[in-house]
Amino acid sequence: MTIPQKYIDLLEAKGFAHIATVGPNGEPQCSPVWYGWDGELVSFSLTKERQKFRNLSANPSIAMSIIDPTDPYRYLEVRGTVERIDEDPNCDFINSMASKYLGLDVYAGNQPGDERVVIRVRPEHTSAMG
């Protein structure tokens, strides 16, 4: 699956991806995250204590929507599957997101004992508007 060229800029922008996962009782859960794009996979960081992590560990199906930060009537929806979950013990990925989003070298939101992972999603279907 390739992302339509007209919407690649949204994957490279400093917007938020609202990710939707399926909870243990089948209920949807949706929340915003910082994200990265390497030209193939969409990635975002979680701690292992988060419900989103537990949801994706049990069911790797995911949907995300990204609204254009400059035009709220333009968006990209990506549906796919978690391809892999990478450990991030040195917080390299979340620090790169802090750099992208905040201009900081180190993410200040980590708490002692946090176990960070990077969720890597392979897009399988897209829809878009605008």
- Residue with tokens 């990925």, as numbered in its chain: 93
Domains and CATH numbers, the chain: 5-129 (2.30.110.10)
What is the pLDDT at residue 41? 96
What is the pLDDT at residue 1? 64
pLDDT truncated to tens, each residue of the chain (130 aa)?
679 999 999 999 999 999 999 999 999 999 999 999 999 999 999 999 999 999 999 999 999 999 999 999 999 999 999 999 999 999 999 999 999 999 999 998 888 889 999 999 999 999 999 9
d(CA 117, CA 43): 10
d(CA 123, CA 10): 14
Question: Distance of CA 86 to CAs 20, 31, 96, 127, 128, Å?
Answer: 19, 20, 15, 27, 29
d(CA 3, CA 75): 12
